Structure 1
Amino acid sequence: MASSLPSSSSSLPKADDEAASNQEIYDQLREVVSTYPAAPRLSGIGRPYVRHPDGWYAFTPGVLNAMVIKRHLEARDTDVLLATFPKSGTTWLKALLFVALHRNADGRDRLAAHSPHQLVPFLEAQVFTNGRIPDLSSLPAPRLLMTHVPSVPLPESVAASGCKVVYLCRDPKDCLVSLWYFWKGLAPAPWDLGEAFRQFCDGVSLFGPFWEHALGYWRWHLERPAQVLFLTYEELAADTLGQLRRLAAFVGRPFTAEEREAGVDRGIVDACAMESLAGLEVNRSGKADMAELSVPNSVFFRRGVVGDWKNHLTPEMARRLDEITESKFRGSGLVLPRATTHLKI
């Protein structure tokens, strides 16, 4: 059965010499990261992005931790790696796959007591962070891993092992609006939507640019469709049950005819719906430690609808994002669904 990853220092005991050695690795890489160019600060948060030589942006801890992961994570062929650009349906995907993989045990009970980000913590923000290089070898298969890191900086063992990779992509207009609300929920000062829009269009966003992030996983999917599944948020919202069945089959745990007849898959869809997750006490009042931030779980839940950008972006903003998307994706074969109505999760 899949197991949640360790996400706190108390769950990662180390001898003093090992901890010192790990800290030395982080300190050495921190010096390297300090030489990378800085991008404009995220307004309200007051923290500058750092641009990695591969062309993506993150705060210093994110870049540093991704580099540690690349060197020290050993993927296995039984692993399942979830990957998303931030605010593309990450919390929902974590919940769906965690419960699907634990459906013969206590998956739904654990979902009721723990945030999806506790059950499936981020590798770069909760597992490999704060001087920790955990030993994940004792976790039972299949290990359910999660990352926002682009495809290029991932450890070579991910591709070489043949482990399953699930990528969830979202309309960049909805993604931008969701990102804006997320940072607003954490920022001590206001963040103007126009400024957020300009930064997003310029590619300056967490683990962005958005388009290069999506294209990296899309091309990997084209090269290895049996290893990499490329799914869109809009597809998941329009047919959650069908896509859950597709996901379960892809990771090697298809629902049996008996399970379908008993409504096991439908029960998972209901338990992981936005309204269900947002209503849980752990998600109303709990917090998740993300590198240097303590993030209220409630910030991860807002509306969960397709097309909400229409309530926030001007027609000119929407047109500009569509033009960039068409230009960036031209010739790749990647076409994102365009919603004409709001579809609730």
Structure 2
Amino acid sequence: MSSSKTRKSTDVEQLELEAKFKELELTLPKQLWFGFSFHNYQGFWCPTFILKNVIAFQTHFEAQDTDIILASLPKTGTTWLKSLLYTILNRKSTSLHTISQQVFQTKNPHELVTSFEFNIYKNFNETQPDLSDLPSPRLFSTHIPFLSLPDSIKSSKSRIVYVCRNPLDTFVSTWHFNLSFDTNKDMKSSTEMMEEYVDKFCTGLLRFGPYDSHLLEYWKEYLQNPDRILFLEYEGLKKEPKAHLRKLADFLSCPFSEEEENENVVEEIIKICSFQSLKEKDVNKNGKAVPIVENKHFFRKGEVGDWNNDLTASMAKKLDQLLQGKLKEAGFSFTYYQPPEFGGYY
């Protein structure tokens, strides 16, 4: 077939895809969240501007058995986990000094571990981006719920690292992150407005939410396939980082050797991937590794319990009740998160 005929055929396919997408978009429930449009697609709230990317990812991605995928809800430790995953996997081919002083000086963690829906499939017309240059194991990330992942991932031997965070800190981090966008610069932060968004969060309206459904899908899969999914709690990583890094390295099939332990490699990785170390890098103060998001907005506090500085007792109680609903009914509870003693903090 001539190149002109091939292009014509491709153009026709793209027109058909565009028509199908527009038809689908009209049938999906729509809501606004912090000034952005969201559509409820396959049971989760997807930012409208990346819905095409999600569909292209689902349709065209071909997983390899050696792939490693970081999955999470936004604002639950994604940036930190990306730096840890990259460093653990590359520590033998690239010295920790080089990673710290060169790689992390010029690359934001979101450039080192790229997102399917925000980066790789950002060009809807490019249904199959070229991933041939990526070294094995290929590192990716996604915020998409487990049930909506491409079949090629679910049927492969690829491994998934999932990180979750308690709903109170997740909400507060999400709150400050969304208010940093230019789109929301005229929004006046108030207790009443925060209360409104707490209610929305609790009913499931957040990026890639509902919160409880997202967490439970990955948790249930972890219980069935612990060799394929590693389930981590942000609070545990903060409280016992060395134990969690060893668990992460074992899961990635690159455990720390006795020599590395004696040379304090685990401690060194914790140090160079720390919130403060990454925040001080110039690359994380400027530019955009992810569309519409300035790198500096990925680094605010990263603290456990920061919710106590923003939420009223009634807001905290509503968010904590998420844990007493579907999560508790499904048998899930956080190991490291301690529910607030309502009335004791205020």
- Give TM class, smaller chain: 0.7 to 0.9
Q: Tell me the TM-score normalized by structure 2.
A: 0.87
Report what 1:253 is aligned to: 254
1:243 alignment counterpart: 244
- Structure whose CA Rg is larger: 2
CA contact (8 A) 2:323 2:333 kept: no
Using the alignment, how far apart are the partners of 2:104 and 2:180 within structure 1?
A: 23
Matched positions, count: 321
Counterpart CA distance in 1 for 2:174 and 2:218 is 20
Q: 1:188 aligns with which of 173, 185, 188?
A: 185
1:207/1:35 CA distance change after superposition, 3 Å: same
Does the 8 Å contact 2:110/2:290 carry over to 1?
A: no
Amino acid at match of 1:185: S
Matched residues in 2 for 1:285 and 1:243: separation? 30
Compared with structure 1, are the counterparts of its residues 16 and 254 closer, same or farther at alpha carbon in structure 2 (3 Å cutoff)? farther
Percentage of identical aligned residues: 36
Q: After superposition, what is the alpha-carbon deviation per residue over 1:63-99, rounded to whole angstroms, capped at 9, x for unaligned?
A: 3222211111111110001000010000000000011
Matched, 1:280 2:281: yes
The code of the aligned residue for 1:34 comes to E
RMSD: 2.1
Unaligned runs of 5+ in 2: 1-5, 341-346
Deviation at 1:22, TM superposition (A): 7.6
Distance 2:315 2:51 in 1: 29
CA deviations 1:197-245 (Å, max 9, x no partner) are 1210110110000100000000000110110111100111101121111
| Structure 2 residue corresponding to 1:113, chosen from 106, 113, 116 | 106
Matches within 5 A, 1:80-229: 80-106=68-94, 107-108=99-100, 109-131=102-124, 132-133=126-127, 134-186=129-181, 187-190=184-187, 192-229=193-230
Distance 1:122 1:25, change over 3 A: farther
Aligned to 2:30: 39
Alpha-carbon distance in 1 for matches of 2:285, 2:173: 18
**Aligned pair in 2 of structure 1 residues 189, 264: CA closer, same or farther (>3 Å)?**
same
* Deviations 1:250-297 (CA, angstroms, capped at 9, x unpaired): 01111111111112221111011000000000001222232xx2x110
Q: Any conservation in 2 of the 1:307–1:340 contact (CA below 8 Å)? A: no
Number of the residue aligned with 2:269: 268
Q: Greater CA deviation, 24-33 or 315-324?
A: 24-33
Change in CA separation of 1:331 and 1:202 when aligned onto 2, cut-off 3 Å: closer
Match of 2:343 in 1: none
Q: Verify: 1:315 aligned to 2:303, yes or no.
A: no
Query: Are 2:110 and 2:289, in contact at CA under 8 Å, matched by a contact in 1?
Result: yes
Please list every run of 5 or more consecutive structure 1 residues that lacks an aligned counterpart in the other structure: 1-14
Q: State the alpha-carbon separation in 2 of the partners of residues 340 and 201 from structure 1.
A: 16
Deviation track 1:93-128 (CA, whole Å, cap 9, x = no partner) reads 000001111112334331221000111121101110
Determine the structure 1 residue equivalent to 2:53.
Answer: 65
Contact 1:36 1:50 in 2 (8 A): no
The residue type equivalent to 2:197 in the other structure is: A
The alignment's TM-score, normalised by the length of structure 1, stands at: 0.87
Match of 1:49 among 38, 62, 66: 38
Kept in 2, the 8 Å contact 1:33–1:64? The answer is no
SS in structure 2 at match of 1:330: helix
Change (3 A) 1:18 1:92: farther
How far apart in 1 are the matches of 2:217 and 2:84?
24
The superposition leaves residues 122-163 of structure 1 with CA deviations (integer Å, 9 ceiling, x where unpaired) of: 110111013233032442210001000000110111121111
Shift of 1:17: 6.9
